[in-house]
């Protein structure tokens, strides 16, 4: 699981049928050891731009759906109310 900041959204008129109705958000991962910098995730909790969120990736993200064959690699599973921001330097890592 990762901490990320929502920096935007994706509008897609053509996508896999299983993603119709899903809100796609652009995230900046703030973990220093993350291999990803910016990712797109399905929003399951109604987050908005500038929210810090919890992101589940890989097969753990797909387990949040009834159909686990959905083409999703990242899902926003929580909105963070508060965390120790001193652990994050300039929003880019530890």
Residue of 39 and 59 predicted with greater confidence: 39
Six-digit token string for 29? 């991962």
Which ranges of 23-65 would DSSP assign to H, the alpha helix? 59-62
pTM of the model: 0.80
Confidence of residue 72 (pLDDT cuts 50, 70, 90): confident
* Structural domain contains residue 92: no
* Structural domain contains residue 70: yes
- Which conformational region is residue 18 in: left (phi greater than 0), alpha (psi within -120 to 50 degrees), or beta? alpha
Confidence of residue 88 (pLDDT cuts 50, 70, 90): low
Q: Determine the structural domain holding residue 39 and report its residue range.
A: 2-87
* Structural domain contains residue 46: yes
* Structural domain contains residue 93: no
Domain count for the chain: 1
- Residue 50 maps to which CATH number? 2.40.50.220
């Amino acid at each position: 699981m990762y901490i990320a900041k929502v920096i935007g959204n994706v509008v897609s008129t053509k996508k896999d049928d299983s993603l119709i109705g899903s809100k796609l958000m652009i995230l900046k991962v703030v973990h220093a050891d993350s291999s990803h910098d910016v990712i797109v995730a399905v929003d399951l909790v109604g987050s908005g731009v500038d929210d810090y969120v919890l992101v589940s990736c890989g097969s753990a993200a797909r387990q949040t759906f009834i159909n686990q064959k959905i083409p999703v690699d990242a899902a926003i599973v929580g909105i963070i109310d508060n965390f120790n921001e001193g652990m994050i330097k300039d929003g880019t890592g530890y």
